[in-house]
Amino acid sequence: MLKNKESYLCLSAMLRAREPKLLNADKAARMLDASTYEEAAKLLTDCGYEDMSQMNTSEVEQVLSGHRKEIFEEIKRLSPDRMIPELFQMKYDYHNAKVILKAEAMESASDHLLSDAGRISPAELKSLYHEEKFSSMPGHLGKAMEEASSLLARTANPQQADFVLDKAYYAEFTEAAKQSGNAFLQGYGKLLIDCANLKSTVRTMRMGKDRDFLKDALIPGGSIGTDRILAASDKEALAALFSCSELEKAAALGAEAIDGGTLTDFERSCDNALNTYLGKAKLVSFGSEPVTAYLAAVENEITAVRMILTGRLAGIRSDVIRERLRDLYA
């Protein structure tokens, strides 16, 4: 126990020292205001990235993927509990499962969409899937992939297969957070589910889909039960359901989006609510909270970097990119 405490103290101190190098709002603004893409990309070297000023979109994506993988592997080596970095790796396993199933169903090549940031490499996951060695996959992934594959074969409906994998991902995340005994991680898991459910409900109402469709999409385990969400008959009831919660502002924007308002503002507000929650970890000196917050901050940073650099390469105006950016942790 004492050894774990000392390890967390060292790791937390290291991550706190790194926080000033993370991309913050000021650095992001300088990237957006830079006169050229090359100038914007060079500013990232101060954040620990290699020089991407002469790279195309595909090369940028490779660098960002490698940066994420490197940080995940480093934290796993240094952390007294591998569970925390694996919580962040988990979603890439389920992403890869979706890609593999859809590629097989459509008989298309999609290796370029696979991520190597998961707990298991894409090549190994594909091999285990084709050999039907589902029990050798990590966590809930094997059972979920087997069920999703069977459902996809019967219905030819990739969306339903995605629902199966999404439910398994959040169930595994919730289970791991609960086993940790850490209230901060458990709260983060519930908020992730609440965000996913709010997004699904807004999109369902916006598209005019029925209650059965929404029932399939909703994830159990959030702070607001799926039965209460299903009982919300209109946008006002939905907004009221999330009032006095971290997602109050997002739900209000979601109500506007249902009537044809912008989804960008709504989805950005959902993500910002998660960042606000993670900001509470700054009050904790050591332990799983600083590690969780740092890994989430890195994920958020990579998303912002990708948005800015690929946007600049595509010739998208800086003000348009700025509107899409989420709040940054640093």
**One pLDDT digit (tens) per residue for the chain, 330 residues:** 445 667 777 888 888 888 889 999 999 999 999 999 999 999 999 898 999 999 999 999 999 999 999 999 999 888 887 888 999 999 999 999 999 999 888 878 788 889 999 999 999 999 999 999 999 999 999 999 999 999 999 998 999 999 999 999 999 999 999 998 888 999 999 999 999 999 999 999 999 888 899 999 999 999 999 999 999 888 999 999 999 899 999 999 999 999 888 899 999 999 999 988 988 877 777 778 888 888 988 999 999 999 999 999 999 999 999 988 887 755
Residue type, 255: A
Spelled out in words, what is the top-level CATH class assigned to the domain 183-283? mainly alpha
290 and 236 Cβ atoms separated by less than 8 Å = no
d(CA 292, CA 81) in angstroms, rounded, equals 11
Spatial contact of 264 and 272, defined as CB atoms under 8 Å apart: no
**Rounded to an integer, what distance in angstroms lies between the CA atom of residue 44 and that of residue 51?**
7
Q: Tell me the HSE value of 134 on the side-chain side, using a 13 A CA sphere.
A: 13
Q: Tell me, rounded to whole angstroms, the distance of Cα 78 from its chain centroid.
A: 23
What are the backbone dihedrals phi and psi of residue 67, each rounded to the nearest 5 degrees, phi first?
-65, -45
Instruction: Pick the closest to residue 268 from 222, 218, 199 (CA basis).
Output: 199
How many other C-beta atoms can be found within 10 angstroms of the C-beta atom of residue 163?
20
Total residues belonging to the chain: 330
Q: Which amino acid is at 323?
A: E
CA distance 87 to 116: 15
Handedness of CA 136, 141, 147, 151 (dihedral sign): negative
Q: What is the reported pLDDT for 4?
A: 65
Q: What are phi and psi of 184, to 5 degrees?
A: -65, -45
Residues of the chain with CATH 1.20.1690: 83-180, 183-283
Question: Which tokens go with 95?
Answer: 């992403």
Please choose, from the candidates 220, 273, 277, 279, the residue with its C-alpha nearest in 3D space to the C-alpha of residue 247: 273
Q: Does domain 83-180 have CATH number 2.40.50?
A: no
Residue 16: what pLDDT?
A: 85
Long-range contacts of 315-321 (CB under 8 A, 24+ apart): 318/32, 318/33, 321/32
Q: What residues contact residue 121 under an 8 Å CB cut-off, 6+ apart? A: none
Cα angle at 55 between 52 and 57, to 5 degrees?
110
Helices (H), ranges, the chain: 2-18, 25-33, 37-42, 57-78, 83-106, 122-130, 141-155, 158-180, 183-207, 211-217, 226-231, 235-241, 248-258, 263-279, 288-313, 318-324
What pTM was estimated for this model as a whole? Answer: 0.89
Helices (H), 259-287: 263-279
Which residues, 6 or more positions from 60, have their beta carbon under 8 angstroms from its beta carbon? 52, 306, 309, 310, 313
